[in-house]
Amino acid sequence: MLGVLARKSEWKLHRLECQALAGLSKDRQRSLTPSLRLMVRLYLKRRLQNEQVIPTTATDNYNLVEALVDHMSDIDEKQLVLYAQMANLVNLILHLPEINIKEIAQNFSKLACNAHTICDSELRPLGTGLYPVVSIINHSCSPNSFLVFEGRQAVVRAGELIPKGTEVLINYIETAGSTATRQKALNEQYFFTCSCPRCKKVCGLYEDIQESATLEGYRCKDDKCNGLLLRDSDDKGFICQTCGLVRSKEEIKTIASDVKLMVEKASTTLSYGNYLEASAMYRTIEQLQLKLCHPFSINLMRTRESLLKVLMELEDWRGALTYCRLIMPAYKRVYPDIHPLLGLQYYTCGKLEWFLGETDSAIKSLTKAVDVLRITHGTNTSFVSDLLVRLDEARAEAAHKLSLEDG
C-alpha cells in the first residue's frame, strides 16, 4: 500500500501527465508506447521534484537516472534515428524549455538497457518501470537473487544464502537456453559478454555443445531413441550420438519451415481470442515438434506453455493439468530448484489437481510450490499467504476423507 505522502505525489504526477497528454489526438494517444509514456512521466517527475512539489528520496531522484550508462556509442544508426524521432515526440508532448532532444534520446537508450518489466505475482507483465537502484545490480546466468514486484515496488530477494562480501546478482534475460543463445541476447540488448561461472564453465566445450543440441537441436529419427543430434563432418545432416542414425538437413529444414509457419498463424489466431482454433493449431505444432525436436527442447516447452494457457481459457481443466505435468520435466532441467517460474508451475499444477479432486497430488504440488515461492516471493506477501491457505484447506480435506474411510 502506498503511504499518504506517496499517494499525494502520485496524484500530482498523474494530473500533470493527463494535462500533457490531453493535447494529443485520440489516435496519437492510442499509439503511445509504454516507453514513451514512461519517458513523459520521467521528465514530469523531474520537473515536480526540481520545483519541490513532490519530494526526492535516496532511491527516487533524477540524479540516479543521469548516472546510468546509455551505450549510445554501441547503437546502430537506425536505432539512433528511432530514438531521435521518439525524443521529438516527447518534446512535442511536454513543451518544457529545460529539456533537449539529445538528452531525451540518450534516456531512451538508457531505458532500453535499464528498464524493467513490471509483473504481477504470477509473472504476468503489467507495464514498464525504471528502477535505477536495481539497475546497478549485475547479471548472472546463475543468479543468487531474484527480482519480483509487489505492486509497483521492486523487491530483490536472495534465492540462496549469500555470504558477506559476495556480490548480489540477478538475471537480466530468460536463462532457459544454451550459452550461445544467452550470450546473443545479452550482447544485443545490454552490450556485454557474460562471464558468469555458468558461461565460463562450459562455453565451447563438448558439454556445452551437448546442452545446445538438447535444448535447441533435433531428435533422432528413431522414435524409441532419445539421443541428441550433432552435425556430421560434411555438414550434410545430423548424426544421432546414441544410435548413429543420420537425419538429412532437407528433412529437418522442411519440418522446421512448417513449424515456423504454423507458429505465426497460431499466434495471430490467439491474439484474436479464437482459443478453440488456436488450441488445434498448437496441438499440430506440438506433433510436428515431437518429430523434429529433442524431448527437452525449449521450443516444444514454449508450445506446451501456450497450450496450457489456451486450455485454461477454454476451462479444459483436465487438459490443462496434462500439459502442466508435461512441462514440468523441461522446467526442472532448465531452471534451478529455487526459481519463481518453477514454483509457479507447481502452484498451477496443485490448483488444478485440487479442483479435479486429486487431493493427495495437490498437497504434494502445493507443498513444493510453498518451498520455492516462500523464498522467491517472501512469506509475508498476500500471494504466498493465499497459497498457504490453499495448502491448509487441501490438507484438511484429505484428513476429512481419511476420517470418513476409517469410520
Residues 344, 122: contact at Cβ < 8 Å? yes
- DSSP letter, residue 97: T
Measure Cα distances from 396 to 22, 360, 391, 403 in Å: 55, 11, 9, 11
Helices (H), 168-229: 179-190, 197-202, 206-216
| Choice between 203 and 74, residue whose per-residue pLDDT is larger | 74
Tell me how crowded residue 120 is: count the other CB atoms within 10 A of its CB: 13
Q: Show the 3-state SS of 59-86.
A: CCCHHHHHCCCCCHHHCCHHHHHHHHHH
Does residue 20 carry a pLDDT above 50? yes
- Amino acid letter, residue 297: S
Does residue 60 carry a pLDDT above 90? no
Does residue 202 carry a pLDDT above 70? no
- For residue range 114-172, what is the model confidence (pLDDT) as tens digits? 999 999 999 999 988 889 999 999 999 999 999 999 988 999 999 999 999 999 999 99
CA 33, CA 43: separation in Å to the nearest integer?
16
**Average pLDDT score over the chain:** 90
CA 395, CA 348: separation in Å to the nearest integer?
17
Task: Provide the phi-psi class of 235: left if phi over 0, else alpha when psi is between -120 and 50, else beta.
Answer: left
CA 81 to chain centre: 28
- Cα 171–177–179 angle (5° rounding)? 85
Average pLDDT over residues 233-251: 87
Nearest Cα to 387, choosing from 369, 400, 362? 369
Residue 1: per-residue pLDDT: 45
Residue 2: per-residue pLDDT: 52
Domain boundaries, the chain: 4-116, 137-200, 221-320, 335-407
Nearest Cα to 372, choosing from 175, 8, 123, 177? 123
Measure Cα distances from 162 to 143, 157, 159, 168, 375 in Å: 11, 11, 9, 8, 13
Does residue 176 carry a pLDDT above 50? yes
Does residue 258 carry a pLDDT above 50? yes
Residue 407: per-residue pLDDT: 58
Residue 287: per-residue pLDDT: 96
CA 402, CA 51: separation in Å to the nearest integer?
67
Does residue 63 carry a pLDDT above 90? no
Residue 223: per-residue pLDDT: 85
Q: Which pLDDT band holds residue 17 (cuts at 50, 70, 90)?
A: confident
Percent pLDDT > 90 in the chain is: 58
- Amino acid letter, residue 85: Q
Average pLDDT over residues 273-286: 97
Cell representation of residue 356:
479435479
Cell representation of residue 195:
562471464
pTM score of the predicted model: 0.88
Average pLDDT over residues 20-28: 80
CA 297, CA 286: separation in Å to the nearest integer?
11
Q: What is the largest CA-CA distance in the chain?
A: 81
Q: Which pLDDT band holds residue 4 (cuts at 50, 70, 90)?
A: low
Average pLDDT over residues 326-343: 96
User: Which CATH superfamily includes the segment(s) 335-407?
Assistant: Tetratricopeptide repeat domain (1.25.40.10)
| 137-200: CATH topology | Beta-clip-like (2.170.270)
CA 142, CA 335: separation in Å to the nearest integer?
9
The residue whose grid cell reads 491474439 is 271
Q: Which pLDDT band holds residue 25 (cuts at 50, 70, 90)?
A: confident
Residues 372, 343: contact at Cβ < 8 Å? yes
Cell representation of residue 399:
484428513
Measure Cα distances from 87 to 45, 46, 108, 329 in Å: 17, 16, 8, 46
- Amino acid letter, residue 326: L
Q: At what angle do helices 275-292 and 249-271 cross, to 10 degrees?
A: 160
- For residue range 371-387, what is the model confidence (pLDDT) as tens digits? 999 999 999 999 999 99
- For residue range 285-326, what is the model confidence (pLDDT) as tens digits? 999 999 999 889 999 999 999 999 999 999 999 999 999 999
CB neighbour burial string for 303-321, b if at least 16 within 10 angstroms, e if fewer = bbbbbbbbbbeeebeebbb
Does residue 263 carry a pLDDT above 60? yes
